[in-house]
Chain A
């Protein structure tokens, strides 16, 4: 049971990036990445085999029976780039490109001008088809096999080489990608999804991509012997997948749920390549054949791997057979001929690389954002937009300190939120008032005022909860099981300046009301372990956003994998169950909004701030458009980036 839980957790954490990073937006059950914890750290934890596998008792109906019994409803098949182009067609950039490039991004107006002008897609012939994109990668990839993806780094690279059927736009609306899918229909009872693939799809070795590849991959993913680190979860919610011919594919669901749409997308392997090798070596990495494939994988996406220098760089080359089949252009050619991922782990070094023009894009820290001067603007510019990454202090409600809601609320009242936002976050982040961002459709409609420091109130709550300094040592205490326990606990935090400073501020605040807090900065792998194993009293971290509110279920539902704090509330559990069975968005929103309100009352977290996205871009780069998941992690995401022709 525990291994299942771990497995699911690993997937759910990772799937956020899967959903987020793939440029076409390969969208599984998208989850938030714990921002206090990097996905790289997961690499050290090979997933344990779990007792799962394809449902052997499942016998797919005949196609005729299927067509007879099911009432099909058409679902959207779209192209992210085409949609974005249509959206931008009616917009006029407020300034010229030259003016936008000369702007210093130090006001909301400047930022809006930069985004509206430099975020545009190219007019015909404007983009340089021979251009190269220099991307930043925080660490090397562990595997080039798409079903072995396990970290943001792999999602970044394999997102460009992988084949996908589904995606979602920047409003997080799911669709089938028109580049690969001819049609997508769901049965009216919500138990079936029928996809017809296009017939002009080729693997990089020239063989056609068919529905049988998808079924084969489903079989491999669900086989216990294959150490799939992440993508099995979600996929395991399917009853089965069946190919009725080379193009027609039907996904069979166990239940009719609003969340089924996120379970039908998983990476696809070439059957003709792995069919003869995978059973002999289910690790998919040890045999000679798999070692060779690791270096030169057969891929189905728009790019293929041209060169890989471990720890240094990965070079991807545009695949002509993606866009041109039998001498005819069947798909739009990606804007870049080559994408080079430069692996730079240290953020300061990466910043210098951006300034020097060695890389074209970088996620900036608040300090870097603030510290951009003439040298930075010489070659680069920057842009920001709200991102739904939520930071918090998490209280382990299974400890004697935080079992009482009054103590948790006291912690929230004790903290100097204003100082954090102004001095630590440089005034760049918005205060968080709960689980969902106020701009999200699932957020509570009740307006909640952001938390403010009130030390008197905090002391009153602690007094009421029985935490009083009885032994006169300056620290509040309480008798628990006949033993006097001082209110002294440890806050775990990732080894990052701003996060440690936030914890230090809380430590200082709590000391003023007789509560002793120790701050323990940890390496991210250790922090991840400690939180997963619930070996903590409190920790400071953050979650990114999923595309569906149901993705937070395993954070708050009793006993779920990411419910690190041990929170349990039958009302919340019930609302999650109802939420996934409700198809009407307005009614769903009410349920998730209610969950948000209950959580706000209970304060298992002290919610702190929403971290906005801050990005540095080369002045030669265009086409960056932001979503609540940043400029890349949706469709078209990376694919909208381009470089103008040199005059």
Chain B
């Protein structure tokens, strides 16, 4: 809702005040959104990103072999949460020897039970066996699993459904992008803000640290880390991506803080006795945030690409976890299985493109210089 629309009722009630309200300019973010929404490509990309978010969050309800919700022996359970964390699988099903086969066992062991099943009865980590779901055949293996009625994107050489892998891989991809850029954003903004605001030796130090970190080859560092740590996890990969990926953000933040630290509103805030922390957080940061969002958006795309590359090389997410890059890696040794190349390749391409388009859209919508240039 725009500010003008919000003011509509008051306009009706009090024509005198309406002219005042009409004169209020729209806020920066509203203006940015207006400009952003005028860009069809950026908007399509945003729709795709939103869709991917939805897929990532609801992945276990979209594809899986565990009920989304079920009632068993008088109690409600959500076994599908085990796809997010194995520890969330209710113990009762292990004790009752379900052995992963929910549809049959729920009926056999508690005829009064009921369950809400995922849209697609396929598992991202294993092949579905014959009649595990009534009437559904076993997944084809050994490269014979081209796309078919039961496996829309085909299966890999071991019979695991590619679509299920990709749906659950969305969670990995988005998580990698968001968490790593969350870390990178936090570090980058803090380092850039300190350097830009205080200047002098603080700036010198921050700039040198930034330059040093820029020299670290992320991919090599991750490969080395995977070799050293006892238990490599996707979280450690994300941490490395975040810890090494903040330099661009820090440089932009520093530039914005340098530009803004002597502006009138900062001087005014300083005159009222506001401390440096308050000035930085409350006054400068909100004004500097827009340009900083751009590299974060590109960074998410880059992180997704790095994770896919790592998985493609076989050093990504440790099993059991689905990753688009890992599906691509399977394709290397099964060149005739085109579906192992096309679907994850397209997913990576479109997602990275979407984030880049969103980033570009943000840049165009928030950078006044670009706006001037377009006129």
B-contacting residues of A (Cβ < 8 Å)?
A: 347-348, 365, 367-368, 370-371, 373, 422-424, 426, 455, 459, 469, 472-475, 490, 495, 497, 500-501, 503-505, 507-508, 511-514, 516, 518-523, 525-526
B333 and A516 contacting across the interface, CB-CB below 8 Å: no
User: A273 to chain B: closest CB distance in Å?
Assistant: 40
Q: Which of B83-91, B171-179, B183-191, B259-267 contacts A (4 or more CB under 8 A)?
A: B83-91
User: B374 to chain A: closest CB distance in Å?
Assistant: 47
A424 and B318 contacting across the interface, CB-CB below 8 Å: no
B333 and A503 contacting across the interface, CB-CB below 8 Å: no
Q: Find B158's partner among A368, A424, A516 (CB 8 Å cutoff).
A: A424
B126 contact set on A, CB distance < 8 A: 504-505, 508
A370 and B143 contacting across the interface, CB-CB below 8 Å: yes
A525 contact set on B, CB distance < 8 A: 227
User: A106 to chain B: closest CB distance in Å?
Assistant: 13
CA distance A503 to B126 in the complex (A): 12
B315 and A472 contacting across the interface, CB-CB below 8 Å: no
CA distance A441 to B98 in the complex (A): 45
Of A497, A503, A512, A513, most buried by chain B (CB within 10 Å of CB) is: A497
B334 lies within 8 A of chain A by Cβ: yes
CA distance A488 to B61 in the complex (A): 27
B227 and A526 contacting across the interface, CB-CB below 8 Å: yes
A526 contact set on B, CB distance < 8 A: 227
Q: Find B142's partner among A423, A512, A514 (CB 8 Å cutoff).
A: A423
User: A628 to chain B: closest CB distance in Å?
Assistant: 26
B330 and A511 contacting across the interface, CB-CB below 8 Å: no
B330 and A504 contacting across the interface, CB-CB below 8 Å: no
A504 and B320 contacting across the interface, CB-CB below 8 Å: yes
B314 and A367 contacting across the interface, CB-CB below 8 Å: no
CA distance A259 to B91 in the complex (A): 55
A514 and B94 contacting across the interface, CB-CB below 8 Å: yes
CA distance A348 to B89 in the complex (A): 39
A371 and B314 contacting across the interface, CB-CB below 8 Å: no
How many inter-chain contacts with C-beta < 8 Å in the A-B complex?
Answer: 93
From known contacts A495-B315, A526-B227, infer whether A370 and B320 are also in contact, taking CB-CB under 8 Å: no
A490 and B335 contacting across the interface, CB-CB below 8 Å: no
User: B86 to chain A: closest CB distance in Å?
Assistant: 7
From known contacts A368-B333, A371-B334, A519-B318, infer whether A426 and B142 are also in contact, taking CB-CB under 8 Å: yes
A469 and B319 contacting across the interface, CB-CB below 8 Å: no
B334 contact set on A, CB distance < 8 A: 367, 371
A523 and B227 contacting across the interface, CB-CB below 8 Å: yes
A-B contact pairs, 14 of them (CB 8 A): A368-B333, A371-B335, A371-B336, A423-B127, A423-B158, A426-B142, A455-B99, A474-B91, A474-B93, A474-B95, A504-B320, A512-B97, A519-B320, A521-B314
B86 contact set on A, CB distance < 8 A: 511, 516
B310-337 near A? 1/0 per residue, CB < 8 Å: 0000110011100000000110111110
A472 contact set on B, CB distance < 8 A: 91, 95
**Complex A-B, nearest 10 residue pairs according to Cβ-Cβ distance, in ascending order:** A474-B91, A512-B99, A423-B141, A474-B94, A367-B333, A495-B314, A519-B319, A514-B94, A526-B227, A501-B158
With A367-B143, A497-B330, A511-B86 given, can you name 15 additional A-B contacts, CB distance below 8 Å?
A: A348-B333, A365-B333, A367-B334, A373-B336, A455-B99, A495-B315, A500-B319, A504-B319, A508-B100, A512-B97, A512-B98, A518-B318, A519-B319, A519-B320, A521-B318
B interface, over-half SS: loop
A473 and B91 contacting across the interface, CB-CB below 8 Å: yes
B100 contact set on A, CB distance < 8 A: 508, 511-512
A347 contact set on B, CB distance < 8 A: 333
Of B95, B98, B319, most buried by chain A (CB within 10 Å of CB) is: B319
B315 and A520 contacting across the interface, CB-CB below 8 Å: no
Of A365, A422, A505, A520, most buried by chain B (CB within 10 Å of CB) is: A520
Q: Find B143's partner among A371, A501, A511, A519 (CB 8 Å cutoff).
A: A371
User: A525 to chain B: closest CB distance in Å?
Assistant: 8
CA distance A505 to B98 in the complex (A): 17
Of residues 262 through 318 on chain B, the ones whose CB sits less than 8 Å from some CB of chain A are: 314-315, 318
B133 lies within 8 A of chain A by Cβ: no
User: A466 to chain B: closest CB distance in Å?
Assistant: 17
B140-156 near A? 1/0 per residue, CB < 8 Å: 01110000000000000
A469 and B99 contacting across the interface, CB-CB below 8 Å: no
**Nearest chain-B residue to A523 (Cβ)?**
B227
B363 lies within 8 A of chain A by Cβ: no
CA distance A455 to B100 in the complex (A): 12
CA distance A521 to B326 in the complex (A): 13
**Nearest chain-B residue to A497 (Cβ)?**
B333
B335 contact set on A, CB distance < 8 A: 348, 371
**Nearest chain-A residue to B232 (Cβ)?**
A520
User: A353 to chain B: closest CB distance in Å?
Assistant: 14
User: B145 to chain A: closest CB distance in Å?
Assistant: 11
**Nearest chain-A residue to B101 (Cβ)?**
A512
B319 and A508 contacting across the interface, CB-CB below 8 Å: no
User: B160 to chain A: closest CB distance in Å?
Assistant: 9
B158 contact set on A, CB distance < 8 A: 423-424, 501
CA distance A423 to B97 in the complex (A): 25
User: B7 to chain A: closest CB distance in Å?
Assistant: 57
User: B334 to chain A: closest CB distance in Å?
Assistant: 6
A504 and B125 contacting across the interface, CB-CB below 8 Å: yes
CA distance A370 to B100 in the complex (A): 31
User: B73 to chain A: closest CB distance in Å?
Assistant: 14
B13 lies within 8 A of chain A by Cβ: no
CA distance A497 to B158 in the complex (A): 10
B64 lies within 8 A of chain A by Cβ: no
**Nearest chain-A residue to B319 (Cβ)?**
A519
B336 and A520 contacting across the interface, CB-CB below 8 Å: no
B157 contact set on A, CB distance < 8 A: 367, 497
B159 lies within 8 A of chain A by Cβ: yes
**Nearest chain-A residue to B98 (Cβ)?**
A512
A521 contact set on B, CB distance < 8 A: 314, 318-319
Q: Find A508's partner among B95, B125, B314 (CB 8 Å cutoff).
A: B125
User: B221 to chain A: closest CB distance in Å?
Assistant: 15
A497 contact set on B, CB distance < 8 A: 157, 329-330, 333
B375 lies within 8 A of chain A by Cβ: no
User: A505 to chain B: closest CB distance in Å?
Assistant: 8
User: A508 to chain B: closest CB distance in Å?
Assistant: 5
A523 contact set on B, CB distance < 8 A: 226-227, 315
B24 lies within 8 A of chain A by Cβ: no
CA distance A424 to B127 in the complex (A): 11
Of residues 311 through 370 on chain B, the ones whose CB sits less than 8 Å from some CB of chain A are: 314-315, 318-320, 329-330, 332-336
